[in-house]
Structure 1
Amino acid sequence: MASIDLDKVLDRAWADKSLSEIMAAPVAALKGVSDRDGELLREAFGVKTVADLAELKYVRWAQALAALDGAR
């Protein structure tokens, strides 16, 4: 299982939250994602939460392509 440094990927306000709280959080809980970015993701793709972003088919497709590219 891969590990991740939550301090590097979460906004400071979310650093002490449980994983279930983080997954239900707005995407602005991710470091570098503004409230406006979150609004645009919601308008464009219906993404409201971190979990929604993780499940977004375009994100999964891009990850699969990157994995294939890394296999070269």
Structure 2
Amino acid sequence: MPVTANLAAFVDKDYQDKSLEELVDAPVAALAGVSERAATHLKEALGIKTIGDLGRSQYFLTASALVQLAGKDR
């Protein structure tokens, strides 16, 4: 079953018409609020190049789980 969602608030204007599959392969800087400089730092420090890399990162997954378990997910 296809999933649709309005992702305009989450990605830069150039990526608002992309499919979820395309967004996963898009550069991290396509996320709203992530600058090219921040994306470069993520690439250099952690090897994260795409939104998919970020979402699958063991560091971010672990941090997210810890925050949720601590009940501090606000």
Q: Give the TM-score taking structure 2 as reference length.
A: 0.85
Q: Which runs of 5+ in 2 are unaligned?
A: none
Mapped to 1, the partners of 2:15 and 2:5 lie a distance apart of 15
The aligned counterpart of 1:70 is: 71
Residue identity in the other structure for 1:50: I
- Provide the alpha-carbon RMSD of the alignment: 1.8
- Structure 2: distance between partners of 1:22 and 1:65: 26
TM-score (normalizing by structure 1): 0.87
Query: Which position in structure 1 is the counterpart of 2:62?
Result: 61
Larger relative helix fraction: 1
Unmatched 5+ stretches in structure 1: none
How many residues align? The count is 69
Identity percentage of aligned residues:
45
Runs of 4+ aligned residues of structure 1 deviating over 6 Å after TM superposition are none
